[in-house]
């Protein structure tokens, strides 16, 4: 005889289809569980009172509910090894709510091998290239090693003629990734 544990019962109950018109409401509410669906009946106008009597159909499953409960395995650690200051990842975020210093954007620089990261608030996208140059020089000064590659998403702020010329003049390879 198959022994059903409380955890297994709970998982089965959460993924079992609901019979009749109640299933329509289950789907309309983005696969809301039966207990919460019955609670919603008291809060929502226009739901049929039959939802209060909703029952699960034993032996069936609601595929979207099952899919939503499936946990994806974590990505394996990258086997690519970089040396100190070989690679710096950069990106810009924003616009955000204006900060106390009137900044609405920020730019990050992440050194790949150590995970050292800086996030610098900036007022405009136009400031990005100057801030990036400053952060790269700062990393080089802190580590005593020259940056070899800078990886970015190819956004305009990383492809200015000034910044590209600066990369080339400093022997830095600019690598563009997917946005």
pLDDT in tens, 55-100: 777 777 788 877 777 766 666 666 667 888 899 999 999 898 888 8
- Does residue 161 or residue 63 have the better pLDDT? 161
pLDDT digits (tens, 9 = 90+) for 136-155: 999 999 889 999 999 999 88
Residue 8 has pLDDT above 60, yes or no: no
Grouping H, G, I as helix, E, B as strand and the rest as coil, residue 120 is strand
Is 50 within 8 Å of 22 (Cβ atoms)? yes
Residue 5 has a pLDDT of 47
Residue 80 has a pLDDT of 66
Show the domains of the chain with their CATH numbers.
8-69 (no CATH), 87-176 (3.30.420.10)
Sign of CA dihedral 98, 102, 104, 108: negative
Of 2-16, 18-32, 108-122, where does mean pLDDT reach its minimum?
Answer: 2-16
What tokens does 175 get?
Answer: 């690598």
Angle at 114 between CA 109 and CA 117, to 5 degrees: 25
Residue 30 has pLDDT above 50, yes or no: yes
pLDDT band at 1 (very low <50, low <70, confident <90, very high): very low
The closest alpha carbon to 125, from 99, 93, 98, 102, belongs to: 93
Percentage, residues of the chain above pLDDT 90: 39
Residue 165 has a pLDDT of 95
Residue 37 has a pLDDT of 83
């Amino acid at each position: 005889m198959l022994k059903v544990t409380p955890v297994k019962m709970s998982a089965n109950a959460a993924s079992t289809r609901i019979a009749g018109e109640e299933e329509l409401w289950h789907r309309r509410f983005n696969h809301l569980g039966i207990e919460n669906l019955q609670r919603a009946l008291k809060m929502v106008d226009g739901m049929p009172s039959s939802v209060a009597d909703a029952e699960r159909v034993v032996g069936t499953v609601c595929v979207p509910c099952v899919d939503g409960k499936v946990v994806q395995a974590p990505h394996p650690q990258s086997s690519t090894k970089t040396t100190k200051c070989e690679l710096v990842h950069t990106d810009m975020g924003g616009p955000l709510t204006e900060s106390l210093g009137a900044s609405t954007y920020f730019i990050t620089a992440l050194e790949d091998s150590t995970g050292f990261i800086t996030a610098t608030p900036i007022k405009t996208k136009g400031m990005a290239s100057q801030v990036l140059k400053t952060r790269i020089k700062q990393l080089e000064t802190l580590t005593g090693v020259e940056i070899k590659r800078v990886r970015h998403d190819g956004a305009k702020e990383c492809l200015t003629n000034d910044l590209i010329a600066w990369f080339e003049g400093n022997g830095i390879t600019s690598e563009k990734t997917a946005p």
